[in-house]
Amino acid sequence: MNTIDLDNDVSPQLALRACVSCKSSKKKCDKTLPTCNRCARLCLSCSYIDVAETRAEDFTSTFQAVFDRLERLESRVFASEEDRPAAAPDQCKGDNRSDWQLRPSLLQPSYLELIVAMNLSKILDERDTSVRAVGEKYLSVVHNYAPVISKERLECRTQEAESLEPHSPFLIFISSILLLTEEPVGSFVSSNTASPPDLYRTCKHNYTVFLSLNEPCIELIQAGVLIALYEHAQCMGSQAYLTIGTCARMAGAIGLLSATSSVSSSSKLVTSKEEETNILLVIYILDRYYSSFSEGIRQLVIANNSAAIPGSGNVPVVFTHTFDVAQYVAALIGEEKWNERSIIIGDKLTWNDLVSLSETTKGLYMHRSVQIMIFFDLEILGTKFDVTYDGEEKLKTFQVTELPSHPPIYPFFAKEQLQYILAVFGQWTEAGAFNLPDEVTLNKQFPDIKPLSMNDLLQAAWKV
């Protein structure tokens, strides 16, 4: 017969953590051993994860065992829901019920974290790898070229994952590493008919849904950068451009490199200035690089020897390089007094002058490229452009001549809208709206800054 030691406390023994059922349901658990009161009341299977198990070396198998238990619990919950007799008339469609429809209840943050973790667990199991192994592969393959995450953060988040307390955005980051390092580049090239690989769709889906319904954090930015790299490698230019743009917006939202930056919510994990600087540099470089693949909206397409000039083409227009704008703005910030309106003039010439300059410059360097070293007059060496003039009457109907740079924009900007905007700008051009006055300009206020002329710009571009 067992005896009770009266010196001991008669209160029941308590576990060190909540049981699996309560933890997955985000319910309060009294941690009573061997079965908590909630599980006993609801007739649920109650099990606790021993602390030693969280230190197990085989992280994947332990993780999968937990999810197996959760799946059994979910099956019981869904089975009990099917037994409920009452249902709304519009939901009672018999066998024709659309099971594929999204249930908003699954978009709760706790469920999203579970879905992300389960997806990654399955992916790791299929590839017979682990979170730590993937992190080590990132350090050996990617980090030297795109150091988006510090080694300290990588190690800290890896330890959290191995302790079954993962940071969900970090799990998405691990998925993006797998996507970039293990998905063969030649296995898929974007087209109108090809379907992206399952790993990409899973990773991008988790990424987009999670950032849409949660606060931005640095791990989501780091994951987005690697996803953008994969999209560019797969010729998914538009997706890569949008993904890296989202990363830039998130970086601004969390205040990277600001005095009041609070990037990490964990007191034991502080984001270093080096890590912030690295991720911002990677975003900046990729954003500039991806932007260079966009043809843009132009009245003059030098590569195709074509131009659509608004109006007569004889009204002066100001052309200023963005780098020069930045120099003037940086200089103006140091001034104590600002004018209500600041004007910058990089170069001023008519559209007809610019077309003539482009013909001459392109023709000159194209002839030099084939080693015809004869000192002809520049006009003789010029390349003749196909020039169309959109008169004021045509512009008033909100129509312009279509150039080769326009059709690639139509999937993102309807042709009618593009024609309308270009026609309005054409009317403003002919009315002299872009012939900025040069009486009071930042050029005179800061004479040491020498803006780039269109002639210098064209020669620098075509002499290569």
User: Which pLDDT does position 89 carry in this prediction?
Assistant: 45
Domains of the chain as residue ranges with CATH: 13-48 (4.10.240.10), 110-183+196-293 (no CATH), 302-462 (3.90.25)
Distance CA 296, CA 302 (A): 13
User: Which pLDDT does position 131 carry in this prediction?
Assistant: 92
Confidence band (pLDDT; 50, 70, 90) for 221?
very high
Confidence band (pLDDT; 50, 70, 90) for 26?
confident
Do 343 and 440 form a contact (C-beta atoms < 8 A)? Answer: yes
Peptide bond into 34 cis (omega under 30): yes
**Per-residue CA distances from 317 to 6, 403, 429, 436 (Å):** 97, 20, 7, 8
What are the two backbone dihedrals, phi and then psi, of residue 58, each rounded to the nearest 5 degrees? -85, 85
Q: Where are the alpha helices (DSSP H) in 127-217?
A: 131-141, 151-162, 168-182, 198-213
Distance CA 18, CA 26 (A): 10
Distance CA 131, CA 60 (A): 9
User: Which pLDDT does position 30 carry in this prediction?
Assistant: 87
Q: Averaged over 54-64, what is the pLDDT? A: 52
Q: Averaged over 173-187, what is the pLDDT? A: 78
Q: Averaged over 347-365, what is the pLDDT? A: 82
Q: Averaged over 289-295, what is the pLDDT? A: 57
Q: Averaged over 91-112, what is the pLDDT? A: 58
Q: Which pTM was predicted? A: 0.47
For 46, which DSSP code? Answer: -
Among 66-70, 149-153, 156-160, 451-455, the range scoring the smallest mean pLDDT is 66-70
pLDDT surpassing 80 at residue 185 = no
Condensed to tens digits (0 to 9), the pLDDT of residues 65-86 reads 666 666 666 666 555 545 545 4
User: Which pLDDT does position 463 carry in this prediction?
Assistant: 65
Distance CA 153, CA 287 (A): 24
Return the top range by mean pLDDT from 47-56, 118-127, 261-270, 374-383: 118-127
Spatial strand order of the sheet with 386-390 comes to: 300-301, 306-310, 386-390
Distance CA 48, CA 16 (A): 9
Confidence band (pLDDT; 50, 70, 90) for 341?
confident
Cα end-to-end distance, the chain, whole Å: 96
pLDDT top residue among 192 and 12: 12
Distance CA 415, CA 306 (A): 19
User: Which pLDDT does position 91 carry in this prediction?
Assistant: 45
The percent of residues in the chain predicted with pLDDT above 70, rounded, is 70
Distance CA 358, CA 385 (A): 9
In single-letter form, the type of residue at position 121 comes to: S
